[in-house]
Amino acid sequence: MKPRRLAVVAAGLSQPSSSRMLAERLAQATKAATEDLGGEMEVEVIELRDHAHELTNNLLTGFADQNLRRAMDTVVEADGLIAVSPIFSASYTGLFKTFFDVLESDSLAGKPVLIGATAGTARHSLALEHAIRPLFIYLRAVVVPTAVFAATEDWGSGASAADRALSERIDRAGRELASLVASTDARRPNPYEDITPFEQMLGGRSD
Q: Is the dihedral of CA 59, 65, 67, 73 positive or negative?
A: positive
Tens-place pLDDT, residues 35-50:
999 999 999 999 999 9
The whole-angstrom separation of Cα 46 and Cα 91 is 20
The whole-angstrom separation of Cα 81 and Cα 181 is 9
pLDDT the model gives residue 4: 95
Measured at the alpha carbon of residue 135, what is the angle toward residues 129 and 137, in degrees to the nearest 5?
Answer: 85
pLDDT the model gives residue 190: 40
Peptide bond into 16 cis (omega under 30): yes
pLDDT the model gives residue 194: 47
Q: Average pLDDT for residues 58-65, to the nearest whole number?
A: 92
Compute the half-sphere exposure of residue 101: CA atoms within 13 Å on the CB side of its CA.
14
The mean of the pLDDT values for the chain is: 88
In this prediction the pTM is 0.87
**Assigned CATH for 4-203:** 3.40.50.360
Tens-place pLDDT, residues 154-182:
876 555 677 788 999 999 999 999 999 99
> For residue 116, is pLDDT > 50?
yes
